[in-house]
Amino acid sequence: MTVHSVSPHSRIREFDLSLRDGGTLHVYDAGGRDSTALPLLWHHGTPNTGHPPIPLLAAAETLGLRWIGYDRPGYGGSTPAPDRRVSCAAVYAEAITDELEIDHFAVMGHSGGGPHALAAAALLPDRVVAAVAVASLAPFGPAGLEPEAYMSEMAASGVAALSAAVMGRNVKEAYENEYGADYDPEFSPGDIAMFDGEWSWFIDVVQAGAASGPAPAIDDDLAYVRDWGFDPASIQTPTLLLHGRVDRVVPAAHSQRLAEVIPNVELRLDPGAGHISVIAGSQDALAWVARYKE
């Protein structure tokens, strides 16, 4: 383990973690002096990096939560892992928490990070005590939503990008090389307003994620529309789903479908929120997570 830096502003320690397969994960740890804090492992969206959300650091500390995050393979300081599955997130979660000598932890993911957080909950049931998925995708196909429902009410650029992924790597790579730079998520007015305040943090992590080029985002999209490597119906961990009804990046039908199959689940739909503005309700979600501190 090699320590890289500690940011005085965010109090985040960063280090590189070597994996058994020879890869490397870049990890962020808010640490803190409270040994009773419940670790909360952040799973980022596409394309982002894994720096925990700065606007939520203070609230988490007050609630006794310890943010940890990591760059998914190919993003930021993590080495690529082409053709990874969503279920690989459980392997990464286990490696990170083992390194930090953490037995039990919670998970939280936004957008494309939602499926990865759910993977850890499904595949590490003895270690993950609570899971939050914000604006999460559902599986593509029989385990989730069939193609028409999956794409319904999704922005045209998202439909095109994920439809290319359904056709396989060659088609997806060709699509990104020709059209990827023109991707328009069609954020809601509420989403756009978020970028002018403290949640301009999203711009920073998106720019950092995009700096890695299209390859990790291609791997993400391919993983989203393939078999995830686990069935959300197998999740026994208490799970909270947050979604905005005016989200056109990932329509609310995705969380509604997840809520139908995850046994121990609570779904909160915000009637006026979009893909980014739904995160404004995350402080309440953190309070929900804090209930599961030992």
Could you report the per-residue pLDDT of 189-244, keeping only the tens digit for each? 999 999 888 999 999 999 999 999 999 999 999 999 999 999 999 999 999 999 99
pLDDT tens figures, 153-179:
999 999 999 999 999 999 999 999 887
| More reliable by pLDDT, 42 or 5 | 42
**Contact indicator for 293, 238 with CB cutoff of 8 Å:** no
Nearest to 17 by CA among 90, 87, 83, 93: 93
pLDDT grade for 183, boundaries at 50, 70 and 90: confident
**Residue tagged 């309070």 (tokens):** 287
Query: What is the number of residues in the chain?
Result: 294
Share of the chain above pLDDT 90, in %: 87
Backbone φ/ψ region at 39: left (φ over 0), alpha (ψ -120 to 50), beta: beta
* Three-state SS at 254: helix
Looking at the predicted structure, is the pLDDT value of residue 6 above 50?
no
Q: How confident is the model at residue 49 (pLDDT cuts 50, 70, 90)?
A: very high
H/E segment holding residue 106? strand 105-110
Overall pTM > 0.85: yes
Average the pLDDT over 145-150 and give the result: 96
The yes-or-no verdict on residue 289 having pLDDT over 90 is yes
Instruction: State residue 281's pLDDT score.
Output: 83
pLDDT at residue 83 greater than cutoff 90:
yes
Eight-class DSSP state of 246: T
Contact 239, 264 (CB under 8 A): yes
Mean pLDDT, residues 38-50 taken together: 97
Tokens 């990865």 — which residue? 116
Residue among 48, 67, 52, 44 at smallest CA distance from 113: 44
Task: Report the pLDDT averaged over residues 247-252.
Answer: 98
Would you place residue 33 in the very low, low, confident or very high pLDDT band (cuts 50, 70, 90)?
A: low
| Residue 26 bridge partners (DSSP) | 16
Q: Beta 38-43 vs 24-29: how paired, if at all?
A: unpaired
- What single-letter amino acid sits at 11? R
**Structure confidence at residue 179 (pLDDT):** 75
- With cut-offs at 50, 70 and 90, classify the pLDDT of residue 4: very low
% the chain with pLDDT above 70: 95
**pLDDT higher than 50, residue 266:** yes
Phi/psi class of residue 219: alpha, beta or left (left: φ > 0; alpha: ψ in -120 to 50)? alpha
Q: Per DSSP, what are the bridge partners of residue 213?
A: none
* Mean pLDDT taken over the chain: 93
Q: What pLDDT, on a 0 to 100 scale, did the predictor assign at position 268? A: 97
Cα–Cα nearest to 154, from 215, 105, 96, 225: 225
